[in-house]
Structures are given as C-alpha cells and as structure tokens.
C-alpha cells in the first residue's frame, strides 16, 4: 500500500515537526525565575557567608 | 507492507527524542554561565555599592520594565546629579545586555522580552524594605 504509507509518513513528519517547534519555542518561566534569582543574589550580594561579609552592608542599615 | 514497521520504528525513536527534549526543557536550568554574563554580573555588582544608598534614599527606584530610573531628582544633590544620571544609564545598558545575553546563551534570542519581564518581576519582588518600586504605573515604597 504505497499510497497509504506515504500519507502516513507525511502525517508523521508533520506531527513530529510541529511537536518540535512547540517544545522549542516554549519559554521556561520557572527556570528563568531561578536564573534571575541566582543573578540577583550575586549582584545584590544577598547570599550570606558565600565569601565573607557583603562589602556594602553598612550603607543599607540591614538589621541583623 | 514491509515499509510500515520501519516507519514505526523510526517514529518510536523520534518520539523518545521529543520526550527527552521536553524533559530537559522542563527540568533544566537556563544557561547563565557564559563569559559575557559573568562580566555583566561583575560590572553590576560593583555598581551596586553606589546604587544601594540611592535606592535607600528613594532617589533611584526599580522600574516595572526591568530597568532602574531616577525617581526623585530632589533626593540627589545638584553636584552629583549628572553622575547619578550616567550611573543609571550604565546600569540600564548592562541590564539590557544581560537580558539579551541570557536569551542568546540559550539559543533563543526571541526570549529577550520574556527574560526582561521575569527579571523585572524578581527585582521588584526582592527589593529591600524602604526601596521604591514601580507597580501598576505608580511608585510604591516597599
């Protein structure tokens, strides 16, 4: 059944292609949030005891 | 009829590949360990020592679009206003580059806007008490 199998192949290809596109354009919001938090930790030096005390701690009047 | 099993086998392999890709995307982290991103982080971290007192004084606030903005010019002595303005411009240039680089590092330059929106939300959420943030078009003190 060459015609039927050709149709099947075409359908399978179309389906898998659309699946790939759908997955790849999806924005990973949770992962992006984690990445943002990691970068904000570093830029604002919010992680305690990473390598010594934050340099600018006194200027912000943080309660300890 | 000997074509069908071969197609099915290939389709099966393809399905496994698609599922694996989906799993990686769902659980994975974004790539943020590139030289460009590290350099931007360092630059911003250094600048933060000067920006932090301005956030605390309310002179500079965290805007809703993932940038920083001069909120209250009166809070900055006239002599320092030009310096603060250029500092804000430099910070916003770094931030724009950061969002762009994260999108690019993950092979999706079109994610830049989403990355920016994610950061904008996190900067605002994590701003310290007393800092000013933009919410719904208005400045609000945390």
Q: A interface mutation test: which of B9, B37, B42, B52 has the most A CBs within 10 A?
A: B52
Predicted-complex ipTM score:
0.81
Residue closest to A12 by CA, chosen among B18, B69, B11: B11
Please answer yes or no on whether B29 and A35 come within 8 Å at the CB atom: yes
CB of B18 within 8 Å of a chain A CB? The answer is yes
Residue closest to B4 by CA, chosen among A16, A13, A6: A6
Residue pairs spanning A and B at CB distance below 8 A = 96
The pTM assigned to this predicted structure is 0.71
- Give the model confidence (pLDDT) of B71-113 as tens digits: 999 989 999 999 999 999 999 999 999 999 999 999 999 999 9
Contacts of B53 in chain A (CB under 8 A): 59-60
Domain boundaries, chain B: 1-30, 31-141
Residue closest to A39 by CA, chosen among B123, B16, B88, B47: B123
- Give the model confidence (pLDDT) of A3-30 as tens digits: 777 887 777 777 766 665 545 579 999 9
Domain boundaries, chain A: 3-43
Please answer yes or no on whether B18 and A19 come within 8 Å at the CB atom: yes
């Amino acid at each position: 059944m060459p015609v039927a199998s050709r149709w099947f192949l075409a359908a399978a290809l179309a389906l898998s292609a659309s699946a790939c596109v759908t997955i790849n354009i999806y924005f990973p919001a949770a992962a992006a949030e984690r990445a943002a938090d990691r970068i904000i930790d570093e830029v604002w030096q919010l992680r305690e005891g990473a390598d010594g005390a934050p340099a600018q701690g006194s200027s912000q009047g943080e309660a300890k | 009829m000997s074509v069908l099993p071969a197609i099915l086998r290939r389709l099966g392999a393809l399905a496994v590949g698609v599922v694996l890709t989906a799993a990686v995307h769902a659980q994975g982290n974004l790539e943020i360990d590139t030289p460009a991103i590290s350099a931007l982080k360092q630059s911003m971290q250094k600048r933060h020592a000067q920006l932090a007192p301005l956030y605390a004084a309310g002179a500079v606030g965290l805007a809703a679009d993932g940038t920083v903005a001069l909120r209250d010019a009166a809070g900055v002595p006239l002599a320092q206003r030009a310096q603060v303005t250029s500092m804000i411009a430099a910070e916003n240039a770094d931030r724009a580059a950061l969002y762009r680089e994260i999108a690019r590092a993950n092979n999706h330059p079109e994610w830049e806007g989403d990355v920016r929106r994610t950061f904008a939300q996190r900067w605002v959420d994590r701003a310290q008490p007393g800092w000013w943030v933009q919410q719904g078009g208005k400045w609000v003190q945390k």
